[in-house]
Structure 1
Amino acid sequence: MIREEFKKLPLHKKIHKLYTEGTFVVGIRYYAHKVNLYLLDNEYIEVFYNHKLDKIDKIDFLNQDHTRMKFYLDQINLNI
């Protein structure tokens, strides 16, 4: 599945696809969210879970230029 197809999916279908076809890589804490990183079709995807509201706020492709990368790189080696 290409990026644009995935981006157009409704949230519940993105969740289903990640949990059934993706591979969980690592989870980090980032401000009010627990961010789970998944690998799907050679793409890294972040799931932003707001534990206070008990809901997923956002699912998006990993931005390699974001400062959040340091949290991932401290824990794992991402071959990007």
Structure 2
Amino acid sequence: MIKEDFKKLPLHKKINKLYTEGTFVVGIRYYTHKVNLYLLDNEYVEVFYNHKLDKIDKIDFLNHEHTRMKFYLDQINLKL
């Protein structure tokens, strides 16, 4: 699936695609969120879960330039 097509999907379809076709890599805590990282079609996707509100706030492709990368790189070796 092309990135642009995935971005256009409604949240519930993104969730379904990640859970059925993606591979869970690691979960981190980031401020008020638990962020789960998945590998989908050779792309990393982040799922931002707000545990206080018990809902997923955002699903988006990993930004390799973001400071969050240091949390992932401390735990795993990402293929960048």
Partner residue, 1:36: 36
User: After TM superposition, where is structure 1 displaced by more than 4 Å over at least 4 residues in a row?
Assistant: none
CA RMSD in angstroms comes to: 0.2
* Gapped regions of structure 1 (runs ≥ 5): none
Unaligned runs of 5+ in 2: none
Q: Which amino acid counterpart does residue 38 of structure 1 have in structure 2?
A: Y
Amino acid at match of 1:51: H
User: C-alpha separation between the residues in 2 aligned to 1:35 and 1:7?
Assistant: 18
Instruction: Tell me how far apart the structure 2 counterparts of residues 35 and 15 of structure 1 sit (CA, whole Å).
Output: 13
Q: Kindly tell me the number of residue pairs found equivalent between the two proteins.
A: 80
Per the normalisation by structure 1, the TM-score is 1.00
Q: Give me the identity figure in percent.
A: 89
Q: Report deviation, 1:39.
A: 0.1
In the TM superposition, what whole-angstrom CA distance separates every residue of 1:24-57 from its partner, at most 9, and x where no partner exists?
0000000000000000000000000000000000
